[in-house]
Amino acid sequence: MSAAIASLPVIDVAAALGGDRQARARTAQALDAAGRQYGFFYVTGHGVAVALREALFAQSKAFFDLPHETKLQWHIDRSTVRRGFDPVGWQSLDAGMPADLKESFYLGVDRGADDPLVLAQVPNQGPNQWPDEALVPGFQAATQAYADALSQLGQQILSLLAESLALAPDFFESYLTDPMPVLRLLHYPPTEHGLLEGQVGSGAHTDWGSVTLLAQDAVGGLQVQYEGQWIDVPFVQDSFVVNMGDLMARWSNDRWRSALHRVLPQPSQRHRYSAAYFFDIDYHAMVSALPGCVDATHPARYAPITAGQHIVEMYQRTTVAAGASEGA
């Protein structure tokens, strides 16, 4: 069912998602083991159509190919809810290090003025900025179709993780009545000039939420820290790279790891594209140690907290070039 690729397991979830009970049990335990050892793993057999990912990457490239001054029309600073474009050098995920050599575009749940979370003035909940259809035809349709598919996959992965703890498969559904996922399109342009000391494509960081589902191209550059060493996370055909975020580590009482990861700078003439889907749960969901992760010998390490307050705290702790945000 799984194989080692640069030390990270590749887990085929097809049979488990197809309803095979024995396969579900085996797959759930494989996800649990990977989460405990690495905090990262690949999934294949996930059922997300290749065409959706190809369309997403085509739209991502079309946007990032626009002139810089054009892209600035949708700069993230024009959004009150941290959506839109951030240019190369805008962010440094590794605090105190030189700016990251990447640009990105953030999209979340597109909430109108009458949305309950917007009316309640919940932080970072509101409308997306959308590139003009005339400039990037099909951008909104492609990104929303992809996000819908990834939302379903994220729920399926959480269901398997629940089973790994001997919980009901639908355990996490009550935390997903109105989730707050974020899709981040990323472009790592080639290095045209000399690097500053310690400068990389994306600085060493952990993700903040529950689980992240990453689609990447075949260019390479992603690395995960394991036992003090950086290991490569190369492209695996028709896979997603899945990792646990800080909230999931907290939720599991540190049973599952939230591992540092980074992206190396790209050499001359080489462009890297990826798409990170941060599958974050309901803003007001209360998170405390999961059943199966706490007992007399493993007392709870963290006080209960809402998912939203956790994200707010992470913003406050993180220092970047022009504000804080998740990255991948």
Neighbour count for residue 195 (Cβ, 10 Å): 11
pLDDT at 96: 80
At position 230, the amino acid (one-letter code) is: W
At residue 118, what are phi and psi to the nearest 5 degrees?
-70, -45
CATH of the domain at 206: 2.60.120.330
In a domain, 327, yes or no: no
List the structure tokens of 300.
């709870």
In a domain, 179, yes or no: yes
> What length is written for the chain?
328
More confident residue, 308 or 98: 308
pLDDT at 98: 82
Residues 49/149, Cβ–Cβ less than 8 Å: yes
Provide the domain count of the chain. Answer: 1
In a domain, 223, yes or no: yes
User: What domain range is 110 assigned to?
Assistant: 2-317
Residue 321 — pLDDT band, cuts 50, 70, 90?
very low
Determine the 3-state secondary structure of 182 from DSSP.
strand
In a domain, 322, yes or no: no
CB within 8 A of 64, min separation 6: which ones? 71, 103, 105, 185, 187, 273
Residues 150/43, Cβ–Cβ less than 8 Å: no
Average pLDDT, the chain: 92
pLDDT at 327: 57
In a domain, 326, yes or no: no
In a domain, 173, yes or no: yes
In a domain, 282, yes or no: yes
In a domain, 324, yes or no: no
Q: Which of 46-60, 63-77, 288-302, 304-318 has the lowest mean pLDDT?
A: 304-318
